[in-house]
Amino acid sequence: MNALLHRAPIVACAIGTFLLLSWLLKFSAYGVDFTDESFYLVWISTPFLYSGSTTQFGFVYHPLYQLLGGDITALRQANILITFTLAWGLCQTFLNSISPKQPGQRWPQVTMSAGLATAALLIFDTWLVTPSYNSLNLQALLITAIGLLMADRPLHRASLAGWMLIGIGGWLAFMAKPSSALALALAVIVWLLALRRGSVRSLVLTGVSALLPLLASAWLIDGSVVAFAARIQRGIQLTQDLAGGHTLLDILRIDSVPLDIRLLSLLLATSFAIVIATGCQVANNMRWWYLSLPLSLAFFVLTAAQVLGQHLWVVYLGPYQSIWVFAVVLAALLVCLATGRLRALASITPAQWVIAGLFMVTPHIYAFGTNGNYWDAGGSAAIFWLLAGLTLLAPLIRQQASWFPLLPATLATQAMVATLLQSGFEHPYRQPQPLRLNTSIQSLGADGAKLQLSEDYAQYFSNAIKVAQTAGLQPGTPMIDLSGQSPGILYALGAKNIGQAWLMGGYPGSLKRATDALSLVNCQTIAASWVLWEPNGPRSLPTETLLQQGARFPDDYRQVGTWRTAPGAGGFAFVREQVLYAPVNVAGTTRACQAKREQ
């Protein structure tokens, strides 16, 4: 009976991981955002259409998109599984680094590392689950972190793999977000100097592991390093044109954390529960251990209730909700001090302290370069805060010769992840209703991928597709989106978003960016492009965008149909009219475009 009770939390942890993954994989067929997420889809499906870009995530994920036949659900599921698998590998490597392998503890360790890895799923807590520069950035950081834990001065097999993973992670970070790659490189240099692990051979191996795939990427994407560098330079210029807060002075900043009182109270209460459960877990008296069991299993009950749709508790804790994970960090510190006092902290090795410090700043490396609050954006990489805090439990784990002291923190992590994901399911980014209420199935894009949407969203897509097909729009037709917010409609129509995957409206430099982006497109394509316009739309680009290309709007076009947007589309509750135009003076527009560019 005692053996069964001892296994119960481990079994609960395994079930919790399975439930969380199954939950996410199931809902991968639900919902879509017309702006950011649709931009990801456009970039991944047609990355070679654009000649200026700072992020190259579209090229990295394009083979996966093709392999899956453009199936959006399968693409999302692959993104979830890749992220989780890498996080699982990191957690397993991390646990190996903080304590020697325990006899007979293999399966508990594997189970708990999987449970802790669910923290990486917090990147999906707004339900932007399609692969993007954000997901690639997190995956790159996970790979690099695994490499840092494995790399050592003696170049044995595992160490060699570690140095290679550092290089590969750096390359992927650059492909995802160059600003994060720069911050990551600086962090790795600090790690090398602090631990003095690097040798000439290991550094060469890391450099080659980063440089070779980067050179291969440049050749496959643009045919040469020079052309690839020009692509990035054009991308930087387009980003600066937008005036969206991405200048060097804008991104070099220290952000504050305005904690909501509910979030702070919940953080403290969760931390207190973990401390009590962990303290009882390691007590020599079995009566105390029996008290730990219901506290630990209470976390599992919360996880299961959220996943199975009981909605015992749906709460939105604000933009900084991932800070909740610091409950584990605080609890680990309190348990460490309570069980070993300052002697316990002294037993943590310098290498473990350095890795913990690096992990503590890694979410800011992930966020570096964004125009949003770094604590908010960094919450998507909260798994690193979690692991940094768990370093403090290493002395207790070694003292107990068991991984069981990690159980309360692991089960609490799963409960927090389930609660925050539930918040995302109930309030998906720029969507009108909870995902569970979506009942309408709609086919999107040239590949006919099916998603389960709200009735209004499905009707919006259906009307647009019907109007476009009646007007004779063929898949692959170039289109200029003057709505400033509808890359999802162009993707659904099977049209090619020319200029950029998303011609963003609503920024001070939107007109300049759109003009410069379209100037990179040849005049024949500009002249043959259809136009989507949203008169008086909240993010509409001015028709001057076309005039800058030599096109007279609307004189050189014929209105072929209209439709109404869905409430909530693009993040706006009110309904707008969108108008589709077909070109009628292709030859004249081509000549005017060429003449304008020769001026």
Residue 290 lies in a domain: no
Q: What is the pLDDT of residue 25?
A: 97
Q: What is the pLDDT of residue 247?
A: 63
Residue 453 lies in a domain: yes
Tokens of 132: 């993007």
Using one digit for the tens of pLDDT, what is the confidence trace for 122-136?
Answer: 999 999 999 999 999
Query: What is the pTM (predicted TM-score) of this model?
Result: 0.96
Residue 177 lies in a domain: yes
Q: Are 51 and 522 in contact (CB under 8 A)?
A: no
List of residues 6+ apart from 3 with CB closer than 8 A: none
Cα-Cα-Cα-Cα dihedral sign, residues 436, 437, 441, 442? negative
Tokens of 16: 């919790």
List of residues 6+ apart from 166 with CB closer than 8 A: 144, 147, 148, 151, 188, 206, 209, 210
Examine the fold and report which residue of 209, 243, 277 is the final residue of a domain before the chain moves on.
Answer: 243
Q: What is the pLDDT of residue 1?
A: 41
Q: What is the pLDDT of residue 399?
A: 82
**Number of domains forming the structure of the chain:** 2
Residue 407 lies in a domain: no
Amino acid sitting at position 416: M
Residue 432 lies in a domain: no
Tokens of 544: 């001057």
Tokens of 98: 């903080």
* Cα distance between residue 360 and residue 568, in whole Å: 37
Using only the alpha carbons of the chain, give its radius of gyration: 26
Residue 37 lies in a domain: no
Q: Are 579 and 464 in contact (CB under 8 A)?
A: no
Examine the fold and report which residue of 189, 218, 243 is the final residue of a domain before the chain moves on.
Answer: 243
From first to last of its 599 residues, the chain has per-residue pLDDT tens of: 455 556 788 999 999 999 999 999 999 999 999 999 999 999 999 999 999 999 999 999 999 999 999 999 999 999 999 999 999 999 999 999 988 666 667 888 999 999 999 999 999 999 999 999 999 999 999 999 999 999 987 778 889 999 999 999 999 999 999 999 999 999 999 999 999 887 889 999 999 999 999 999 999 999 999 999 999 999 999 998 887 666 666 677 788 887 788 889 999 999 999 999 988 877 666 666 677 788 888 999 999 999 987 665 667 777 889 999 999 999 999 998 887 767 778 888 999 999 999 999 999 999 998 888 899 999 999 999 999 999 999 888 888 878 888 999 999 999 999 999 999 999 999 999 999 999 999 999 888 889 999 999 999 999 999 999 999 999 999 999 999 999 999 999 999 999 999 999 999 999 999 999 999 999 999 999 999 999 989 999 999 999 999 999 999 999 999 999 999 998 899 999 999 999 999 999 999 999 999 87
Tokens of 546: 């076309």
- The single residue listed with the structure tokens 């680094």 is 97
Examine the fold and report which residue of 243, 261, 280 is the final residue of a domain before the chain moves on.
Answer: 243
- The single residue listed with the structure tokens 């890749």 is 82
Closest to 581 (Cα-Cα) out of 567, 596, 560 = 560
Residue 323 lies in a domain: no
Closest to 457 (Cα-Cα) out of 439, 470, 469 = 439
Q: What share of the chain is helix, strand, coil (3-state, %, to 5)?
A: 65, 5, 30
Residue 342, judged by CB atoms within 10 A of its CB (0-12, 13-18, 19+), counts as: exposed
Q: What are phi and psi of 296, to 5 degrees?
A: -65, -45
- The single residue listed with the structure tokens 């590392």 is 113
Q: Are 10 and 281 in contact (CB under 8 A)?
A: no
Q: What is the pLDDT of residue 222?
A: 97
Measure Cα distances from 140 to 117, 130, 170, 229, 362 in Å: 15, 16, 7, 21, 11
Q: How far is CA 166 from the centre of its chain?
A: 20
Residue 224 lies in a domain: yes
57-67 and 72-98 are packed helices; what angle lies between their axes, rounded to 10 degrees? 120
Q: What is the pLDDT of residue 472?
A: 96
Q: Helix, strand, or coil here: 314?
A: coil
Domain holding 206, by residue range, is: 138-243
- The single residue listed with the structure tokens 């919006």 is 460
Closest to 60 (Cα-Cα) out of 124, 132, 129 = 132
Residue 347, judged by CB atoms within 10 A of its CB (0-12, 13-18, 19+), counts as: middle
